[in-house]
């Protein structure tokens, strides 16, 4: 990386490997960098349940009002201040062959140029699309991995197609080769949770289906028994969770309006009521959700006391890494691979999630300071193993 942008990707140490180091100071709230994903994809069950997103960038295709009507189960609800809705329905286009939808013609053209030529189902007949090998591959994945989702085999399908459609296949392959691809951490005797013993027979079935469905000539090494486990682990360990919401964007836009005190109170009460109603109907599943592979972001190491935070301020797949506190020159820039709730749990619970999903035992300052704490799960974990399902 160039020093002029304020950071470098460097070797931190033999245990951590690469990381991002600041080459200048950053103030709290300052953007360190932003980037689009090399490839991204909506989660399979998320799409199945009607969370409507652009097939290329995951931007919501529902209006904010449509979004809250679906998530609250209140078809009569109408949001005020429609000018704050981010969705431009007039710009939405669809593939003429398979009816996949995009937020704009630009996204459609980008998708077609990069991967959609291969993945297009090329049938306007719904029954035929359901029988397509790609649809059956997706259905097989869904039967293996129920919500909450942390990965999807369709991201792998896009990776294959991206290589196949590339004019420089070697360069595209080398882009994916930079990501961590270990399926196990032999030193610490850890194996990724996507590769557990309960999935072994299903993984073999999934690999066979992928071989018969996708053009794998240029990536045949991904589809040996060992290579397939490694590529699934690549998706699991490097996939950055993406969340977008038309209502969430509307809320943010409303907050910038010049409103009277009474208007501000009314809209605040409305927002609180809507979130309460959503909680009753869909729980925590509020967003269009998916995952993507990001070249720079993937180099940022984890800390349970992060000095940087990942955001999606444009309600699409463009990622922004922002300073969560003041960062000094030569300080490592670290994000959290766990969400805020998981960070508040016990050291044992955090490390259980990190070892299962990311194949390392955390030795950040917070974990080291809690080294003498008992190896007990947090109260929130006693009824199940939700740690195993945390997204980055």
Would the pLDDT of 15 be above 90? no
Of all residues in the chain, what percent are helix, strand and coil, respectively (each to 5)?
A: 45, 15, 40
Mean pLDDT confidence for 114-131? 79
Residue 59: name the closest of 239, 243, 241 by CA.
243
pLDDT tier, 357 (very low <50, low <70, confident <90, very high otherwise) = confident
- Give the pLDDT of residue 3: 45
- Give the pLDDT of residue 193: 72
Residues β-bridged to residue 10: 19
Q: What separation in angstroms does the CA of 127 have from each of 124, 132, 384?
A: 9, 9, 38
Mean pLDDT confidence for 289-301? 96
Distance from C-alpha of 109 to C-alpha of 57, rounded to nearest angstrom: 12
Cβ neighbours of 276 (radius 10 Å): 10
Distance from C-alpha of 298 to C-alpha of 171, rounded to nearest angstrom: 18
Per residue in 175-221, pLDDT tens? 999 887 666 666 665 666 776 666 678 899 999 999 999 999 999 99
Q: How many helices (H) and strands (E) does the chain have?
A: 15, 13
Q: What separation in angstroms does the CA of 230 have from each of 190, 207, 225?
A: 14, 12, 9
* Continuous segment of H or E residues that includes residue 332: strand 332-333
Would the pLDDT of 32 be above 60? yes
Tokens of 382: 């006693």
**DSSP 3-state of 57:** coil
Mean pLDDT confidence for 125-130? 64
**DSSP 3-state of 327:** strand
Tokens of 90: 């007039």
């Amino acid at each position: 990386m160039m020093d002029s942008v304020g950071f470098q990707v460097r070797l931190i140490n033999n245990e951590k490997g690469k990381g991002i180091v600041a080459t200048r100071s950053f103030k709290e709230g300052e953007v360190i960098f932003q980037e689009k994903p090399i490839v991204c994809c909506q989660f399979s069950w998320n799409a199945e349940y009607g969370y409507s997103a652009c097939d290329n960038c995951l931007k919501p295709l529902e209006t904010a009002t449509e979004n809250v009507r679906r998530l609250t189960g209140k078809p009569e609800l109408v949001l005020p201040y429609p000018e704050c809705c981010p969705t431009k329905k007039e710009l939405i286009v669809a593939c003429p062959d398979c009816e996949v939808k995009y937020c704009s013609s630009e996204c459609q053209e980008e998708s077609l140029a990069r991967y959609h030529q291969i993945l297009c189902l090329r049938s306007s007949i719904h029954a035929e699309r359901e029988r397509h090998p790609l649809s059956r591959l997706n259905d097989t994945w869904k039967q293996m991995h129920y919500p909450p989702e942390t990965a999807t085999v369709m991201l792998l399908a896009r990776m294959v197609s991206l290589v196949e459609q590339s004019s420089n296949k070697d360069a595209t392959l080398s882009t994916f080769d930079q990501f961590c691809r270990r399926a196990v951490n032999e030193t610490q005797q850890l194996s990724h949770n996507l590769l557990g013993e309960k999935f072994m027979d299903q993984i073999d079935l999934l690999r066979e289906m992928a071989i018969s469905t996708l053009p794998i000539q240029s990536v045949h090494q991904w589809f040996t028994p060992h290579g397939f486990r490694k590529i699934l682990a690549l998706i699991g360990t490097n996939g950055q969770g993406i969340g977008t919401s038309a209502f969430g964007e509307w809320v943010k836009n409303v907050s910038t309006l010049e409103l009277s005190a009474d208007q501000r109170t009314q809209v605040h009460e409305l927002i609180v009521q809507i979130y309460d109603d959503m909680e009753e109907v869909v729980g925590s599943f509020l967003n269009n959700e998916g995952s993507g592979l990001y070249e720079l972001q993937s180099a940022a190491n984890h800390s349970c006391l992060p000095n940087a935070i990942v955001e999606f301020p444009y309600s699409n797949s463009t990622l922004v890494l922002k300073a969560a506190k003041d960062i000094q020159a030569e300080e490592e820039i670290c994000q959290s691979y766990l969400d805020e709730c998981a960070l508040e749990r016990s050291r044992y619970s955090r490390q259980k999630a990190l070892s299962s999903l990311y194949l390392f035992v955390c030795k950040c300052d917070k974990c080291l300071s809690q080294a003498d704490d008992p190896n007990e799960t947090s109260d929130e974990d006693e009824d199940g193993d939700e740690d195993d399902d945390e997204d980055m």
